[in-house]
Chain A
Amino acid sequence: MSISHAPPPNEIADIGGTSPSTAPPQPLPAPLLEPLPSTSTTRHRARVPRWLRRLSGPLLLLLAWQLASASGVLTADVLASPGTIARVGRDLIADGSLTSAMGVSLQRVALGVLLGAVVGTVLALLSGLFRAGEDLVDASVQMLRTVPFVGLIPLFIIWFGIGEAPKVAIITLGVTFPLYLNVYAGIRGVDAQLIEAGQSLGLSRWGLVRHVVLPGALPGAMTGLRFSLGVAWLALVFAEQVNADSGIGFLMVQARDFLRTDVIVVCLIVYAFLGLFADFVVRTLERLLLQWRPTFTGQ
Chain B
Amino acid sequence: MATDVHRAVSPDRAGQEEPAAVRVQGLSRTFDGRRVVDGLELTVRSGEFVALLGRSGCGKSTLLKILTGLDREIEGAVLVPRRKATAFQAPRLMPWKKVWRNVLLGLPGKPERAVAERALAEVGLDHRVDAWPKTLSGGEAQRASLARALVREPDLLLLDEPFGALDALTRIKAQRLVGELWQQRGCAVLLVTHDVEEAVLLADRVLVMDDGVIAHETEIDLPRPRDIADPGFAELRTHLLDHLGVEAPTPAPAPAHAHASASASA
Residue on B nearest A212 in the bound complex, by CB: B94
Inter-subunit contact A202/B106 (CB<8 Å): yes
Give the docked Cα–Cα distance between A200 and B96 (Å).
Answer: 18
Contacting B at CB under 8 A, from A255-299, are 291-294
Q: Separation in Å of the A186 CB from the closest CB of chain B? A: 12
A201 interface hit (Cβ, 8 Å): yes
Residue on B nearest A203 in the bound complex, by CB: B106
Residue on A nearest B101 in the bound complex, by CB: A211
Inter-subunit contact A292/B134 (CB<8 Å): yes
Instruction: In the complex, identify which listed stretch (B19-27, B83-91, B173-181, B205-213) lies at the interface while the others stay far away.
Output: B83-91
Residues of A near B96 (CB, < 8 A) are 215-216, 218, 292
Q: Separation in Å of the A293 CB from the closest CB of chain B? A: 7
Considering only CB atoms and an 8 Å cut-off, how many residues of chain B contact the other chain?
A: 25
A293 in contact with B105 given A1-B260, A200-B70 (CB within 8 Å):
no
Residues of B near A294 (CB, < 8 A) are 95, 133-134
Residues of A near B168 (CB, < 8 A) are 4
A197 interface hit (Cβ, 8 Å): yes
Residue on A nearest B65 in the bound complex, by CB: A196
A201 in contact with B134 given A193-B90, A193-B92, A292-B95 (CB within 8 Å):
no
Q: Separation in Å of the A53 CB from the closest CB of chain B? A: 26
Residues of A near B134 (CB, < 8 A) are 292-294
Give the docked Cα–Cα distance between A218 and B105 (Å).
Answer: 19
Give the docked Cα–Cα distance between A294 and B132 (Å).
Answer: 9
For chain A, the bracket of interface size reads 20 to 34
Give the docked Cα–Cα distance between A8 and B224 (Å).
Answer: 40
Inter-subunit contact A194/B92 (CB<8 Å): yes
Give the docked Cα–Cα distance between A11 and B243 (Å).
Answer: 34
> Chain A 28-41, CB within 8 Å of chain B: the 1/0 string?
00000000000000
A133 interface hit (Cβ, 8 Å): no
Which residue, of B69, B92, B108, B152, has the highest number of chain A Cβ atoms within 10 A? B92
Q: Separation in Å of the A175 CB from the closest CB of chain B? A: 25
Residue on B nearest A196 in the bound complex, by CB: B70
Residues of A near B263 (CB, < 8 A) are 2
Residues of A near B95 (CB, < 8 A) are 292-294
Residue on A nearest B261 in the bound complex, by CB: A1
Inter-subunit contact A200/B94 (CB<8 Å): no
Inter-subunit contact A207/B106 (CB<8 Å): yes
B68 interface hit (Cβ, 8 Å): yes
Could you list some 27 contacts between A and B, CB below 8 A?
A2-B260, A4-B168, A193-B90, A194-B92, A194-B94, A196-B70, A196-B88, A197-B86, A197-B88, A197-B94, A198-B105, A198-B106, A199-B69, A199-B70, A200-B70, A201-B106, A201-B152, A203-B106, A211-B94, A211-B97, A212-B94, A216-B96, A218-B96, A292-B97, A292-B133, A293-B134, A294-B95
Which 9 residue pairs are nearest across A and B when measured between Cβ atoms?
A201-B106, A294-B134, A197-B92, A215-B96, A292-B96, A200-B86, A202-B106, A203-B106, A2-B260
B interface residue numbers (CB < 8 A to A): 68-70, 85-86, 88, 90, 92, 94-97, 105-108, 132-134, 148, 152, 168, 257, 260, 263
